[in-house]
Amino acid sequence: MVDEKEDKKTDMDVLVGEERKIKVAGKVLTVKEVGLGNQTKIFKILAEVLGEIGRKYPQMELDKTSFGNIILPIEVAGEKLPPLLSLILDEDEEWLKENLKLKEEVEVISKFLEVNDLPFLISEIKRVIEKVKISSAVVKKLTIN
């Protein structure tokens, strides 16, 4: 695995933001800040995964310490993980399925959370989860009446 981060900052670095690199099967992939184009898709998948963690492990707090054990989100994510990693790395999902190993998955997710400001990301996902819970409750109430 390669974590290449140059010490020199250019004007483009300021515009693009931080990124981390990882080498997979001889190919250097980049983990970047979430852009507007993928933001909704990534947040939706992460909200589903965190919601599932909340259902499976109700005693777990969904805060920044929840990701201390990064294997738990990977285990719970299951089939949602390849599309999530594809969005994070901007790489073909099938290629990732064939080439990305567990250690590299953990590394990608760790770098993603680091680059994208974990406390902010978790608070945004919690907000989405709460909206989903509220709208589900409203729909349920409307259909019962």
Give the domain ranges of the chain.
35-144
- What predicted TM-score, i.e. pTM, was given to this entire model? 0.64
The pLDDT of residue 36: 81
Given a contact cutoff of 8 angstroms between Cβ atoms, the answer to whether 73 and 53 are in contact is: yes
Bridge partners for 113 per DSSP: none
Upper half-sphere CA count for residue 93 (Cβ side, 13 Å): 7
The pLDDT of residue 114: 83
The pLDDT of residue 138: 59
By three-state DSSP, how is residue 17 classified? coil
Instruction: Please give the average pLDDT of every successive group of 10 residues along the chain, which has 145 residues.
Output: 50 57 93 85 83 75 50 77 93 95 89 79 73 64 57
Any idea which residue has 């690199």 for tokens? 21
Token pair belonging to 22: 């990882």
